[in-house]
A and B are shown apart, each in its own frame.
Chain A
Amino acid sequence: AQSVTQLDSHVSVSEGTPVLLRCNYSSSYSPSLFWYVQHPNKGLQLLLKYTSAATLVKGINGFEAEFKKSETSFHLTKPSAHMSDAAEYFCVVSDQGGFKTIFGAGTRLFVKA
């Protein structure tokens, strides 16, 4: 069985400061992990993916995430927040075939000027 837990429902940062969005997963086999972003009134967009290659994954818009098997975590980070980063972020776990996909509840990121 698979599950994903996003540890914060809301995160607020100031523009120019680092972003950390936390995600823990549970899977009985080697999972594929993803982060998606959803801006208001826009579709879900893939930020980055981990599929058993390098554990540090770089994505679009300066985001990156590190797969830590020992901690069952896949936290999303960005060195410096921009106002345009304000959105809802979803951590996603998928089975090895990429079929059954489970989304976390989401973390809303607020960026203050």
Chain B
Amino acid sequence: DTGVSQDPRHKITKRGQNVTFRCDPISEHNRLYWYRQTLGQGPEFLTYFQNEAQLEKSRLLSDRFSAERPKGSFSTLEIQRTEQGDSAMYLCASSLYYEQYFGPGTRLTVT
């Protein structure tokens, strides 16, 4: 069990650019979650996958955001035309049932 991994750990991008983050869950976990955390706040739910199916999306996930989980393994979160307000820590978690195991996060800075 190598835990949940995320790549990259840090990303600095200019406003208007597209960015993509990757999450590799714990191998036997069929559920995968994306969250966004800003300074001084708790993580906010963005979206959730069971296997390859995206079952729920938060209203926080604007049209500029898209997430995929091909073949029910790793997942990617893409942000198009980044804005300064997108600067945050993006967290991925995976689970079999209730207990979610979190990755270290990808810190995005939009300049």
Contact = CB atoms under 8 A, between A and B. Distances in A.
Contacts of A46: 99-101
Contacts, number: 54
A44 B91 contact: yes
Given A90-B42, A106-B42, A100 B56 contact: yes
Interface in B58-87: none
Interface residues of A, number: 21
A45 B91 CA distance: 13
Interface string A24-48: 0000000010101000001111100
B100 A43 contact: no
Interface of B: 4, 31, 33, 35, 40-45, 48, 50, 55-56, 91, 93, 95, 97-105
Interface of A: 32, 34, 36, 42-46, 49, 51, 90, 94, 98-106
20 contacts: A32-B98, A34-B99, A43-B91, A43-B103, A43-B104, A43-B105, A44-B91, A44-B93, A49-B99, A90-B43, A94-B98, A99-B55, A99-B56, A100-B48, A100-B56, A101-B100, A105-B42, A106-B40, A106-B41, A106-B42
